[in-house]
Amino acid sequence: MELEKRNSSKRCRGRTVTACLECRKMKKKCDRQWPCNHCKSRKVAHMCQFSQATRKHQRLGLNETQTRAPKETPSIASSTSVSESQDDASNSTSSASAVHMLGYMFAKNDTLFGSIMETQYVESTEPLPEPIVQASRAVSPRPYTDMLLKNFFDNVNYHYGILHQPSFMAVYVEWWSQRRDAQSLRNPLALALTCLILRICANSTQFLSPQASSQLELDLGDSIQNLSKAYHDAAQTISSFLSPGTGGLLNAQQLFLAATWHKGQADFVRSWHELGAAVRQAQEIGIHTDAFSDELNEFDLEIRRRLWCALYTWDRYMTGSFNRPPIIQSEISVPLPNPGLDQAGADPDVPSYIVAKTLECQLAKELGEGDRVDRSNLQSKIAFVENWMLSLPSVFNIINPDKRWDDDYPHIPFQRLQLHCVGYMTQLMFARSILTSFQLFSTTTHVGTGLDSETTLLIQQVVDLSLKAMSVSKDTFDFCFPQKAKYYMVAFCPFDNAALLCSLLIHDADGTMIPRRSEVIYAIGQALHISQRLRGFTKMGDFTWSILSALKNRANLFPLEKALLEELESVGKTDITTESLNHSLEPSDDVFHSINESSNQLHSESDEGLQFVENTLAVDDPDFLEMDLGILDGVWNWERVGF
């Protein structure tokens, strides 16, 4: 009922709009779209607004577009987490926070509490907690922070697309002008903004160019890992003082960036928990309802949708890939973000970084709301993803993409690889879940002959998809290494695919079960090569390398294949050219010979012919299955690849 009311007022509003405020002021003809033609051409799309949103946070000077939340926030000093002495029901607790603390979700038109929730910001005279003051000082001097922010918007933000650069930069400049006034941190919005700036710095240091890294290390006198950790720790401290529901959208954004930072550190479990915190904060301020109110303007709503799009997509993939329970249970469908906001400054034909995010979200929606995959719907699910891939816009096309902007807009080639990878990995996710449920994987010895046709076809399909995914993974590695090596896909996708392919080889007792066998061996070699390169560089590299090495040693291989794998892996230590790798990537029967002449010699020396190399350990060796998965523990399991 509540929802219907909101939606209808939104529709009414949509029909009755006149020109936007900017156009009215300048007496221009407005096309009444958001953002409108004039605001876009004047490059102020984020200022385009059709109603006068109320402004309550002028004192801080924070741009309301970044800070506005339907829930007005009580002062820090009166919120629960700042001081333990709240238990004695001190009278500084506002009625709004009291209602909130009882567990009621904010609802503006709530018949019981709506009017109480509309409270004003409360001044407090209590001293600011020392940890807050300390942590806020962790922001580096302006030139370095400026550099880190620029790097974030140039190289990191488009991974998820939750922040809007022009409006954020305006808030950021304002933040510096008030920085000396520690009392401004009493405002939860200012506190959340300080936290968000620290999160941006922490994320940015994960993706610096080698040159920028060494410059920063030299100037600030610490390693880049320590700097990143210091920003993160300071942000954690501040975050712990922001009680749920306070700090508005900024608080939800900073929690999201805490999750992405952990992901960059390859800590998937912590990352998932922070994702949960970000979702809860977003729900606490009503983002999931997408309700329009007179306190939000069109821009606010758009930025909230962008965060929701990222949260939703990520949540659905964690559910689909790692069997985690969904965090978002909401049935309400929040509209997808509007790329029109970003096209202001650039060539109007260049796709906004948000286009790829909406495409991923569409795919995630299908995964999240469709039926569970089973044998009867598997092929239609794979076909759905296939169609999604085939209908990607020309710049992201799977065949002959339009690459004319690749050099000037690095988000385009990156997101193209990201979309292709997500597509293949999603198809694989469906196919492998059926394959690993087959009897085939329940014991250790299998004979390739005698498999039923359904199993044979499914194995073929899994191998085909996995080889495609490996090919994209290799391109992704080449594109991202070294600056973007911490992006989780770079290490995870080749590893996950190679583990699956190794599992197939291990279960292939007589060497007849796996189609395209030489390509499979080569793909595993590439994954080993990638993890070898990442080893010592990222934590993911260390772990994926040790697991893959163990798997490789257990696969049933012909001597020639074993020699080839060794060679491929060691080639990673020297400088293999992209060219030669790409060349040998081409599916061809003589891939062995084209890659590696020396393995032919090895082959002629050994007279074993087609005899398998003996496995040193059985697959069901308990030590093997109890191998330390380290950082992958909790998200990755052996069942996933059929052990």
What residues line the site for Zn ion (CB under 5 A)? Answer: 20, 22-23, 30, 36, 38-39, 48
Which amino acid belongs to residue 627? M
Residue written as tokens 């009311």? 5
Instruction: Return the number of the residue (39 or 307) whose C-beta is nearest Zn ion.
Output: 39
Q: Rounded to an integer, what distance in angstroms lies between the CA atom of residue 235 and that of residue 223? A: 18
Q: Least distance (Å) from Zn ion to the CB of residue 27?
A: 11
Write the CB contacts of 213 (distance below 8 Å, at least 6 apart in sequence): 205, 224
Could you give phi then psi for residue 396, rounded to 5 degrees?
-105, 5
- We find the least distance from the C-beta atom of residue 13 to Zn ion, in angstroms, to be 15
As beta bridge partners, residue 636 has 633
CB 77 within 8 A of CB 84: no
Q: In the complex with Zn ion, which residue's Cβ is closer, 264 or 340?
A: 340
Closest distance of CB 29 from Zn ion, Å: 8
Distance, CA of 579 to CA of 577 (rounded, Å): 5
Q: How far apart are CA 40 and CA 32, in angstroms?
A: 12
User: Between 342 and 475, whose beta carbon lies closer to Zn ion?
Assistant: 342
CB closer to Zn ion out of 28 and 516:
28
Distance, first Cα to last Cα, the chain = 50
CB of 147 to Zn ion, least distance (A): 33
Structure tokens at 13: 């509003």
The minimum distance between CB 342 and Zn ion, in angstroms, equals: 15
The residues facing 633 across adjacent strands are: 636
Please state the length of the chain: 643
Is 6 or 40 the residue whose CB approaches Zn ion more closely?
A: 40
Tell me which amino acid residue 239 is.
Answer: S
Q: Which is nearer to Zn ion, 47 or 373 (CB)?
A: 47
* Separation CA 112–CA 435 (nearest Å): 54
Closest alpha carbon to 390 in 399, 377, 380? 399
Q: Do you find a cis peptide bond into 35, omega within 30 degrees of 0?
A: yes
Q: How far is the CB of 46 from Zn ion (least distance, A)?
A: 10
Cβ-in-10-Å burial (0-12, 13-18, 19+) of 326 comes to middle
How far apart CA 306 and CA 612 sit, in angstroms, is 53
Helix, strand or coil for residue 633? Answer: strand
* Cis peptide, bond prior to residue 166, ω within 30 of zero: no
Given the complex with Zn ion, which of 23 and 459 has the nearer CB atom?
Answer: 23
The secondary structure of 76-97, three-state, reads: HHHCCCCCHHHHHCCCCCCHHH
296, 53 in Cβ contact below 8 A?
A: yes
CB closer to Zn ion out of 23 and 192: 23
Instruction: Work out how close the CB of 26 gets to Zn ion at its nearest, in angstroms, rounded to a whole number.
Output: 9
Whole-number minimum distance, CB 345 to Zn ion, in Å? 16
Q: What's the Cα-to-Cα distance from 496 to each of 345, 384, 568, rounded to whole Å?
A: 39, 23, 18
Least distance (Å) between residue 106 CB and Zn ion: 29
Phi and psi dihedrals of 141, rounded to 5? -50, 155
* Shorter beta-carbon distance to Zn ion: residue 48 or 195: 48
Nearest alpha-carbon partner for 277 in 307, 243, 260, 252: 252
Of the pair 19, 139, the CB lying nearest Zn ion is at: 19
List C-alpha distances in Å: 198 to 177, 194, 296, 512.
17, 6, 26, 55
Q: Shortest distance, CB of residue 344 to Zn ion, whole angstroms?
A: 11
Residue nearer to Zn ion on the CB measure, 299 or 430: 299
Nearer to Zn ion, 38 or 446 (CB): 38
CB of residue 640 vs Zn ion: minimum separation in angstroms? 49
Minimum CB separation from Zn ion for residue 31, in Å?
7
